[in-house]
Structure 1
Amino acid sequence: MYLVAIIIEPLQCSGPMKGVEGELMVTMRDVAREAGVSKATVSYVVSGSPLISEKTAAKVRTAMEKLGYSVNHTARALSTARTNAIGVVTSFNEDGCFDLSAGTYLYGISAAARRHGYDTMLLTGADGVETIRSVALSRRVDGIVILDVYNDDPRIEAVRESGIPAVLLGSPADPQGVDVVDSNFEQAAVSLVGRLRDGGHRSILFIGWPESVYRRNLNYAVRFRASLLEACEAMDVRVDAVYARDVTLGASEVIQRALGDHPDATAMIIHNDAAVVGAPQAFERMGVRVPEDLSVATIVPVQLGEGMQIPFDSVGIDVEAVSFHTVDRLVERIAEPGLPAVVELLEQPLNVKGSVRMLHGD
């Protein structure tokens, strides 16, 4: 088993470094005076305690920035017997699956962790179970976020055995008492099918990930597909599923193949990051007009959709919001291990951009 650890820190601008407290020109007491709070409150904010309201914490952080106060994380770790680091456990994509949103999640988690005063350690290994056991035994991190969650994920049992604070960024079939934070992919699928159904569409194409993703039981893909198929049946909409062969190079190929095999389809739902990005160019090459010839709806990370100017109606997954909710939950779990476990599925809005044609009256 190989363990790769990478410290991730988002770029940030800071004032001049002033040394450690006791030798500082700016002390925690100075920050408390500037913010109009107690020194204990400043300490709570620095440690990421959930006991302090966001409004008060924001005042403290503003005072810290104004005075150029820098937290000595090493000294704080020694005094609290904590590492002030969280681990992000992910796995190698041995099938070559290309996930454009993965980097966005990693950055979002890192930014959220930094807000709480934590560094972020990326933990990868061929066997995620052994990775979790190793990091828990070595006490290199205070808690972990688990990505690439499978419906029947064996890493959950490793978390329960080791007792390490953890949050699953993904919703498995049975979380076994481990905290879950994710987007509501089930609601997203129903929303997209409903959007097309309300427009009069009765035959749609579903462009999915490679079939290997579903065989691996990656929860977000399996959950979205299952909900989409159920929604189509309930709404009397015919659906034909077509899967990419290679999401890195095959985005255009899968769209062309789908339309060639199903010429009667009037609409398409895409759940595949690379296919979403490549779709406008694919349609242009094929001479397909959206929405005149084909209505298109997608599910895509907001940060990716806005950056790439994706022109389709879409359920936008706010990766930053999901990441921050995940880290907030983990920080609470680290502070109070006995809290009841929660499953938090964030509903995401449908953004209408005019890519769905209304067939009523045609």
Structure 2
Amino acid sequence: MNIGEIARRAGVSRSTVSYALSGKRSLSEQTRRRIQDVIDELGYRPNASARALKEGRTRTLGLVIPPASQRLTDMQLGFVASVVDAAARADLDVLLSPSGGEHDRSFERVVTGSRVDGIILMEIRLRDDRVTRLQQTGLPFVGIGRTAEPEDMCWVDVDYETLISRCVQHLADLGHRHIALVNRSAELVAAGYGPGHRAQAGFARTIAERGLTGVELCCADDASAGHTCVERLLADHPEVTALATINEAALPGVYRALRHAGLEIPRDFSVTGVAAQHWAENLHPPLTAADVPADQLGAHAVDLLIQRIANPETPVRHLLLAPPISLRFTTAPAPRRSADGAAPEEDSPTAAP
């Protein structure tokens, strides 16, 4: 329950409810009583941290998202929705601002224009000029993601290195010896995109530890790119029997390419990775994956930011999540493959025993 709902039920504006709660302005006894009756009926208690925000604040948080020209992935949309929901529960508004390229001026306006009390920053790179700029201004901020030196900032993040390592371990335990990593786009990885680099690190380390053969590929964030990527993988590396990915947007194309190649998931080829839960569950077949809790990350980011706004001297805090792999229907024991990578026909007398 929040101020917006109280205002709706009392038939007044949100600002009028705020005045009634804060006492900043005098209201008629009738209006004040109507608002108080709704508050009593609903049992409303203002969020303690949000109430601690100093007077004169905008009561607006900035959420810096990737450029509008780039279609947000399902996971990114989950982060946006969770931040907006968590902010609403604290009676705060959210101002969305793209960043990158021609949008740098928009970011600068948000940072310097006294339009927000603090900022949540998405899609952070290992070396991120936006983080440096925010540290220079002193404006409170929290990252969904972290830089290569994350000790000096508040952040929440997914442990992509550990999760991709677990995916490879799972595939290796099923007998797969030739495994691919399908990463995010080459442009993102080259720019130092944190999850892409940490996924590479977890993949390379585990491939070496288990004595496997690994293939790394970059892929743009769409189904068509996923299709092309897997076609190239199968042509260049027919021995590969499984892949792990952090590129959920490419997965429909990954599935389609495997079907077009005559490979059935998971009988002939296993797929796993890191993805939003409802996205993984709604693929056909449902994806064995580490389910990213986007709602938790967004809510934690808002809580951390409110604390930083209310008390800038609050020590920096970090939250690193590594959810378990949910076993669904896209991984199975490695198939037998001939020298050219083709699976032998079932019950064939010439198939290897």
**TM-score, length-normalised on structure 2?**
0.80
Mapping 1:232-271, distance limit 5 Å: 232-244=207-219, 247=222, 249-271=224-246
Mapping 1:254-293, distance limit 5 Å: 254-293=229-268
Q: CA deviation at 1:293?
A: 1.0
Stretch moving more, 274-283 or 257-266: 274-283
Instruction: Give the alignment partner of residue 16 of structure 1, picking from 9, 12, 24.
Output: 9
Distance in structure 2 (CA, Å) of the matches to 1:249 and 1:93: 20
Instruction: Give the alignment partner of residue 146 of structure 2, picking from 171, 174, 181.
Output: 171
Distance in structure 1 (CA, Å) of the matches to 2:149 and 2:118: 20
Instruction: Give the alignment partner of residue 63 of structure 2, picking from 88, 112, 116.
Output: 88
RMSD across aligned positions (CA): 3.0
Q: CA deviation at 1:88?
A: 0.8
Mapping 1:1-362, distance limit 5 Å: 15-19=8-12, 20=16, 21=20, 22=27, 23-28=31-36, 31-32=39-40, 35=43, 42-45=45-48, 48-49=50-51, 80-92=55-67, 99-125=73-99, 126=101, 131=106, 133-175=108-150, 177-244=152-219, 247=222, 249-308=224-283, 311-359=286-334
Stretch moving more, 183-192 or 301-310: 301-310
Instruction: Determine which structure has more spread, i.e. the larger CA radius of gyration.
Output: 2
Distance in structure 2 (CA, Å) of the matches to 1:319 and 1:253: 28
**TM-score, length-normalised on structure 1?**
0.78
Q: Which amino acid aligns with 1:217?
A: G
Report the CA distance shift for 1:24/1:185 in structure 2 as closer, same or farther (over 3 A): same
Give the 4+ runs in structure 1 shifted more than 4 A.
11-15, 127-133, 307-310, 359-362
Q: Which amino acid aligns with 2:243?
A: M
Q: Are 1:210 and 1:246, in contact at CA under 8 Å, matched by a contact in 2?
A: yes
Instruction: Report the number of matched residues.
Output: 318
Q: CA deviation at 1:194?
A: 1.0
Distance in structure 2 (CA, Å) of the matches to 1:229 and 1:286: 27
Stretch moving more, 331-340 or 243-252: 243-252
Report the CA distance shift for 1:176/1:128 in structure 2 as closer, same or farther (over 3 A): farther
Distance in structure 2 (CA, Å) of the matches to 1:33 and 1:165: 35
Distance in structure 1 (CA, Å) of the matches to 2:333 and 2:276: 25
Gaps of 5+ in 1: 1-10, 36-40, 51-76
Gaps of 5+ in 2: 21-26, 337-352
Report the CA distance shift for 1:163/1:127 in structure 2 as closer, same or farther (over 3 A): farther
